[in-house]
Amino acid sequence: MRFFEDDRDSAMAELLRRAYARTVDLDTAARHLWSIDSAAKAGRRSQRAHRARRVMVAVMASLMLGVTSGVAIAASSHTLPGDALYSVKRGAEHARLVLAVRPEADARVYLSIARTRWAEAQRAGEERPRVVPGLLKDTFAALDAAEARGGATAELALALRTQVAASSAELALGSNRSATEGQASGRPGEDGQDVAASPLPPSREPADDAAGSGASDPATTTGTADALASDGQDHRGGDGAPAGASPAPAPAPADAAAPPPETGPAPPPPPEREGLPPSGHPPGDAGPAHPAGEPAVTGGPEEGTGEAELAEPEPALSQPEPVTLGDPAADQASPSAPGWGRPRP
Amino acid sequence: MGLGAPSSDGTGVGHEEKPLGDDDGQATGPFSEEVAGGVRAGDPDAVGRVYVALADRLLGYLMARVPDRASAEDLLELTFLELLQHGHTIRGGAAAIKVWLFRAAHFNALDHLRKVQRRAEDLREDVWALEVPDARRGPEDRAVADDLSRRVRQTMDLLSDEQRQVLLLRYIGGLSAPETGRVLRKSDGAVRSLQHRGERALARLLDHETDRAAPPLGDEAS
């Protein structure tokens, strides 16, 4: 038997080739190539639609749960994180974001959200200091978004930012001071007790809260918590960008809790970044940075542990996010999508 | 006919003129690193180039796993659409992309087989022989209906799943042994062992069949 350098047997190769080797028809190849191209176009289009769709989902979800009556929305307007209707308040903000299609309107909504967060932070400084760092973080995030869209609103946002930065130093010092007072005197004061009682240093605990209030509102028990609380911004998105998102909240809360004059963390920019999720794994095979919650459209073999050196392919063209209105995947995956009027053989 | 410039023995892809089993699975991928970069960036043109380079081999592999041409072609399309969507997660160059594609094809084929759930006897049926030789296809497609080829396929079915998969990836897919290992999640040693055992079994069974098929000498005593 003759051998190739790599130990394949040439006689066997010939046999197997004759038995199995195929060529792709030109027709089929053309069809496939066209489908690839059209899927790419659909992908680009749908990225823009993604953000609106995601926020819409949050609104729709809360509608289905029956919590967005006008009365509820009105009643929620003065709530703080930890109140029962706070999620309704955030949901209503999302609705405004989704309706604001033009960038200027968008920027204005973000600015108003920033103002709201700032007002909440100031009020919470008295009543619920634990949520303050999270609110500050959200304030800066909303300011970033408002400034990113430019225009006149950006200037207003900048002005607010300066004001917040100046005042939030006091806020944080206030909460730290009550902590040290509580520790020094051993006096179980209201705020002092809250902070001193924790085993972690005060700057750590709010960090947990910041991550907590950032990622999911503690008062919200619905499954839409992630979507609702993500502020229309995907940097903490719970549905598909964990690799990008997880480093972001971790350093950020530490920044927020540490001397705040360092103007808060700047989370990654607007939701267009969401794009394609870093998922890619055969079902049951945990890819490098993939949430377990992603549905596999077809149940496949369980292949054991994931490996780091190679990102795994997903066997089915499943949708990028678990909850989606409409069906972006259908646009992408359908080879017979209209546009060319080509007859399908 | 296949893609690209038709080569003398009709093996489809333009630049691959030598018969399968050459070293094209080794160090240099069948497409450039530049194209690989485009794939990782999600560029459909780059994916298209990879298609041109590898579709024949992938189709052959898929058809060997899922012996129904239409389904195999659909799985081929699906695999490339997946590459378009998830190419940005692949780390590595052209070779890594090739391994990724075969792994995706491998799983797509498994999924398909599960869905279809034919009975064991049906799977043995030589659907290939029913294929109408098509003028558009290369000459080796017509050879598929060969008696010998049919027996090769039947004999391959007698091998274990793993042996068959290794042989298909190595010979039809053109992957190296390490690459095959990465697709199937097996060590180098396991791959070589499966390959050699499979080759020996195949050879033995084919010879055995050949002996039986030929009229035994000395049988016709006067």
Query: pLDDT digit string (tens) for A106-118?
Result: 888 888 888 888 8
d(CA B89, CA B78): 17
Q: Does the pLDDT value for residue A87 go beyond 50?
A: yes
| Chain A contact present for B90, CB below 8 A | yes
Using a CB-CB cut-off of 8 Å, the residues of chain A touching B127 are: none
B21 in Cβ contact with B34 (< 8 Å): no
- pLDDT score, position A92: 78
**B42: Cβ–Cβ under 8 A, 6 or more apart, which residues?**
A40, A43, A276, B84, B85, B87, B88
- Predicted confidence at residue B129, as pLDDT, reads 53
Encoding tokens for residue A11?
Answer: 């006689």
Q: What is the pLDDT of residues A222-281, one digit of tens each?
A: 444 444 444 444 444 334 334 333 443 444 444 444 444 444 444 444 444 443 444 434
Give Cα A196 distance to the centre of its chain. 32
Of A98, A94, A100, nearest in space to A73 by CA: A94
Q: Which residues pair with A81 in a beta bridge?
A: A83
Which segments of A21-151 does DSSP mark as H helices, in order?
26-64, 70-75, 86-99, 103-127, 132-148
Residue A162 class from Cβ within 10 Å (0-12 exposed, 13-18 middle, 19+ buried)?
A: exposed
What one-character DSSP code corresponds to residue A283? T
A297 chain-B contacts, CB cut-off 8 A: none
For position A99, what pLDDT does the model report? 66
Contact B146, A23 (CB under 8 A): no
- What percent of chain A shows pLDDT beyond 70? 39
pLDDT of residue A90 exceeding 50: yes
Chain A residues with beta carbon closer than 8 angstroms to that of B73: 24, 28, 32
Q: CA-to-CA distance for A20 and B62, rounded, in angstroms?
A: 10
Between CA A150 and CA A157 the distance in angstroms is 10
Q: What is the pLDDT of residue B30?
A: 76
- Contact, A304 vs A312, CB < 8 A? no
Q: What mean pLDDT comes out for the span B112-120?
A: 71
Taking CA–CA distances from B51, the nearest residue in chain A reads: A33
Residue A259: predicted pLDDT: 44
Q: Both tokens of residue B192?
A: 């070589």
Averaged pLDDT, A208-233? 41
> Percentage of residues in chain B with pLDDT exceeding 90?
47
Instruction: Give the pLDDT of residue B166.
Output: 95
Best mutation site among A2, A6, A7, A16 for testing chain B: the one with the most B CBs within 10 Å? A16
Please compute the mean of the pLDDT values over residues B173-191 and round it to a whole number.
93
What average pLDDT does range B142-148 have in this prediction? 64
Question: Within an 8 Å CB–CB cutoff, is residue A273 touching chain B?
Answer: no
Tell me which of A218 and B58 has the higher pLDDT: B58
User: In DSSP terms, which residues pair with A3 in a beta bridge?
Assistant: A9
Nearest Cα neighbor of A25 from B10, B168, B171, B8 is B10
Q: What is the pLDDT of residue A2?
A: 45
> What gap in Å lies between CA A322 and CA B173, rounded to an integer?
34
pLDDT tens-digit readout, B41-77: 989 999 999 999 999 999 999 999 987 889 999 999 9
Does any CB of chain A come closer than 8 Å to the CB of residue B134? Answer: yes
CB contact (8 A) between residue B44 and residue A333: no
Segment A148-198, tens digit of pLDDT: 877 788 888 888 888 888 887 776 655 555 544 444 444 444 444 444 444
Higher pLDDT, B211 or A29: A29
CA angle A172, A176, A180 (to 5 degrees): 170
Distance CA A131, CA A231 (A): 16
